[in-house]
Amino acid sequence: MIANKIVLAGGNGYLGSVLAEYYSPRCVEVVLLSRRPALPRGNIRTVVWDALREGPWVQELEHADMLINLCGKNVNCRYNEKNRSEIVSSRVVPTTLLGRAIAACAAPPALWINVTSATIYRHAEDRPQDEETGEIGSGFSIDVCNRWEEAFYAAPTPATRKVALRMGIVLGRRDGVFPRLRNMVRFGLGGKQGNGRQYVSWIHEHDVARITEWLLQHPELQGHINCVAPSAVTNAELMRHLRQACKMPIGLPAPAWLLEIGALLIGTETELILKSRWVTPKRLLGSGFKFRFEKLEDAVRDVVG
Ligand SMILES: NC(=O)c1ccc[n+]([C@@H]2O[C@H](COP(=O)([O-])OP(=O)(O)OC[C@H]3O[C@@H](n4cnc5c(N)ncnc54)[C@H](OP(=O)(O)O)[C@@H]3O)[C@@H](O)[C@H]2O)c1
């Protein structure tokens, strides 16, 4: 056992299920905070909250070893006024609330990880962005990240170590971006997207879970930490590896104008595909963390397999 109690706020989504499965055999209990009730599974139980105000759920934070906050409306939507407002509030409001709840605890969690996003850095095709020299970009998505992290750091939690975990695109079998890309490849649409030169900073879901455990065991680590594999690839390389893994010899490229039309039709934004996210995990590497999936080909082989 590495811990007594882990709490996952927004834990009934994709990353929450990855982390709950990882920690279930390693902890006495895993508690998920969700707006929807769910049946317990072994030592994983769901406690309902509204993510707006304090309630009986606050008790769950007492004596927890780690709280990981995963709350946030999915960004895979059109950025109209209503969605923009929900994207921001679904991140800022639960973060502020959790900060207040921690501050009121008699025995607060030792560690609070707020999963944020590696998209906080600027569009970068020239050099990788690390935690020290990386440049913060501008635009809606970056405003979201800034407000999310501001709310996190503003919370006064002197007895709780805090990490803003700037997450890259998570590759996993069941959910996230990978199943959608794999379907495109299987339909022969797996060529480069846009000019294909934009970088993709990815991370395998198993390494996400291992990194949270590493943070739990390394009290010297706090503040913002990039959660991406050390080898970012270009979009053209990503699509080539996916085609190889799916044994698909051809893949039609999708130029930017076609992506704009497609994004409008399926209700998403091209920024999710066309922004160049070239991010490097300098602090994790410097702390001695060893990635299980360092190379994209190994990660893709694993999730396709
Ligand atoms: N997956 C990735 O590749 C990736 C990459 C970078 C960053 N992230 C960030 O990591 C976090 C988790 O991602 P995910 O892939 O697990 O997303 P997900 O499957 O959509 O889960 C997000 C969770 O957020 C909760 N939520 C949504 N709106 C909320 C609101 N208004 N108030 C409170 N809770 C709300 C939902 O919980 P309930 O409905 O159960 O209450 C849901 O389970 C998100 O903030 C996401 O932006 C993910």
Give the DSSP per-residue string, 150-217.
HHHHHS--TTSEEEEEEE-EEE-SSSTHHHHHHHHHHTT--S-BTTS-SEE-EEEHHHHHHHHHHHHH
| CA 275 vs CA 43, 81, 124, 269, 280: distances in Å | 40, 21, 8, 11, 16
Distance between CA atoms of 221 and 217, rounded to whole angstroms? Answer: 9
* Per-residue confidence (pLDDT) for residue 265, from 0 to 100: 84
Question: How far are the Cα atoms of 136, 171, 177 from residue 289, in angstroms, in the given order?
Answer: 25, 19, 25
**What pLDDT, on a 0 to 100 scale, did the predictor assign at position 232?**
97
As a whole number of angstroms, the distance between CA 194 and CA 276 comes to 11
Mind listing the domains of the chain with CATH numbers?
A: 3-170+204-228+280-289 (3.40.50.720)
Residue of 34, 44, 74, 87 with the most ligand 1 atoms within 8 Å of its CB, for mutation: 74
Identity of the residue numbered 140? F
Q: Residue 268: what pLDDT? A: 86
> Residue 267's pLDDT is what?
86
Distance 91 CA to ligand 1 centre (A): 9
Ligand 1 atom nearest to CA at 89: 31
Q: Pocket of ligand 1, candidates 7, 31, 34, 35: which has the most ligand atoms within 8 Å of its Cβ, to mutate?
A: 35
Q: What is the pLDDT at residue 177?
A: 74
Residue 13 Cα to ligand 1 midpoint, Å, equals 6
Q: What is the pLDDT of residue 84?
A: 96
Of the candidates 41, 22, 296, 38, which has an alpha carbon nearest to the alpha carbon of residue 168? Answer: 296
CA 127 to chain centre: 22
Tell me which amino acid residue 261 is.
I
> CA-to-CA distance for 48 and 51, rounded, in angstroms?
9
For residue 69, the CA-to-ligand 1 centroid distance in Å is: 9
What does the DSSP assignment read for 12-64?
TSHHHHHHHHHHGGGEEEEEEEESS----BTTEEEEE--SSS--GGGGGGTT-
Distance 14 CA to ligand 1 centre (A): 7
How far from the centroid of its chain's Cα atoms is residue 159's Cα? 25
Cα(71) to centroid of ligand 1, in Å? 4
Cα distance between residue 294 and residue 299, in whole Å: 8
> For every one of its 305 residues, what pLDDT tens digit does the chain have, with 9 covering 90 and above?
899 999 999 999 999 999 999 999 999 999 999 999 999 999 999 999 999 999 999 999 999 999 999 999 999 899 999 999 999 999 999 999 999 999 999 999 999 999 999 999 999 999 999 999 999 999 999 999 999 999 999 999 999 999 999 999 999 987 667 777 888 888 888 999 999 999 999 999 999 999 999 999 999 999 999 999 999 999 999 999 999 988 999 999 999 998 888 888 888 888 888 999 999 999 999 999 999 999 999 999 998 87
CA–CA distance, 164 with 116 (Å, rounded to integer): 6
> Tokens standing for 201?
């900073």
Ligand 1 pocket by C-beta < 6 Å: which residues? Answer: 10, 12-16, 34-36, 51, 70-75, 90, 94, 115, 117, 167, 169-170, 176-177
Joined together, the tokens standing for residue 158 give 């002197």
- The predicted pLDDT at position 179 comes to 78
